[in-house]
């Protein structure tokens, strides 16, 4: 049974999904952009026999509080701090961690600050290497280095409906992706203040890249067991980013899935089997 809950953290209401026996090892699942914890709806039921699962929505995403960007700092480090406090509030100090897309810098910030919390990591298109950055990131570098209101406004295209649908379907076989996930993500783009908080995060992404050496140093120092299971056809975070984990962490297993960015939409059962087979 999956339960749907909210808890007060740093004066915010943080929504999360919970499933499985709390006496079993905990797996925390960190979602990406433009989604929320509903991206794990197919995966969670397949892991409840082995794990206690917690999947939160970040502030500004899904069903969690979304304060105005003038009143809340939408940076990845700040989101990581809130998620760290969320984990403390739930008394979770030993867990496996699944990171995807935006969830990767958030999760790795937590790992750097609390290495003793991390029992193992699943990275699904969760990049921390420059060689994992697709072509679009070169264009964003110009925005980061020479920001203007016009350039900022142009990135509204990142959460246009056709862009979101493309994120789900690019690199997958035709007619294999349910519309459920992307239609919900599109609906969330219509919530008050959505554009400004997401544009803040797009601008702040440059600081994730600057933190990559710190994340990589954590892997070299602690060498957690790591499964890099990647949708190999993802144009945003390309598969050399998965292979790069092996350079810093000898306890890495790389699996390239014939899917795109949202690999769970087509490979949730395979992902569950990989996780249970490796951890």
Residue ranges per structural domain of the chain: 2-278
3-state DSSP assignment of residue 149: helix
- The one catalytic residue in 31, 52, 261, 267 is 261
Q: pTM of whole model > 0.95?
A: yes
Of 251, 258, 249, 254, nearest to 229 (Cα)? 254
Could you confirm whether 31 is annotated as catalytic? Answer: no
**Is the peptide bond preceding residue 150 cis, with omega within 30 degrees of 0?**
no
CATH number of the domain located at residue range(s) 2-278 in this protein: 3.40.50.1820
Owner of token pair 């509903």 = 38
Residue 227's φ and ψ, nearest 5 degrees, are: -110, 115
Task: Mention every residue, 6+ apart, whose C-beta is less than 8 A from residue 231.
Answer: 124, 125, 171, 257, 259, 260, 261, 262, 263, 267
Distances (CA, A) of 86 to 35, 39, 77, 259: 19, 19, 14, 32
Helices (H), 24-158: 76-89, 103-113, 136-145, 149-154
Q: What is the pLDDT along the chain (279 residues), one digit of tens a residue?
A: 899 999 999 999 999 999 999 999 999 999 999 999 999 999 999 999 999 999 999 999 999 999 999 999 999 999 999 999 999 999 999 999 999 999 999 999 999 999 999 999 999 999 999 999 999 898 899 999 999 999 999 999 999 999 999 999 999 999 999 999 999 999 999 999 999 999 999 999 999 999 999 999 999 999 999 999 999 999 999 999 999 999 999 999 999 999 999 999 999 999 999 999 999
Half-sphere exposure of 53 (CA within 13 A, CB side): 27
């Amino acid at each position: 049974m999956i339960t749907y809950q909210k808890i007060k953290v740093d004066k915010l209401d943080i929504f999360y999904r919970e499933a499985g026996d709390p006496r079993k090892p905990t797996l925390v699942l960190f979602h990406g952009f433009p989604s929320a914890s509903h991206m794990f709806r197919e995966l969670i039921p397949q892991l409840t026999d082995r794990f206690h699962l917690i999947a939160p929505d970040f502030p500004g995403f899904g069903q969690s509080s979304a304060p105005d960007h003038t009143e809340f700092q939408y940076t990845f480090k700040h989101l990581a701090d809130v998620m760290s406090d969320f984990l403390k509030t739930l008394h979770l100090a030993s867990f496996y961690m699944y990171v995807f897309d935006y969830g990767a810098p958030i999760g790795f910030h937590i790992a750097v600050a609390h290495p003793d919390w991390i029992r193992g990591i699943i990275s699904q298109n969760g990049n921390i290497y420059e060689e994992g950055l697709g072509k679009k990131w070169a264009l964003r570098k110009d925005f980061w280095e020479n920001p203007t209101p016009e350039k900022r406004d142009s990135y509204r295209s990142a959460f246009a409906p056709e862009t979101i649908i493309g994120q789900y379907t690019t690199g997958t076989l035709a007619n294999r992706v349910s519309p459920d996930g992307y239609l919900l993500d599109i609906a969330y783009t219509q919530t008050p203040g959505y554009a400004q908080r997401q544009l803040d995060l797009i601008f702040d992404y440059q600081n994730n890249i600057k933190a990559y050496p710190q994340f990589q140093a954590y892997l070299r120092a602690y060498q957690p067991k790591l499964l890099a299971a990647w949708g190999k056809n993802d144009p945003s975070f390309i598969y050399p980013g998965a292979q790069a984990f092996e350079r810093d962490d000898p306890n890495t297993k790389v699996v390239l899935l014939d899917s795109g960015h949202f690999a769970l939409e087509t490979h949730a059962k395979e992902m569950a089997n990989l996780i249970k087979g490796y951890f």
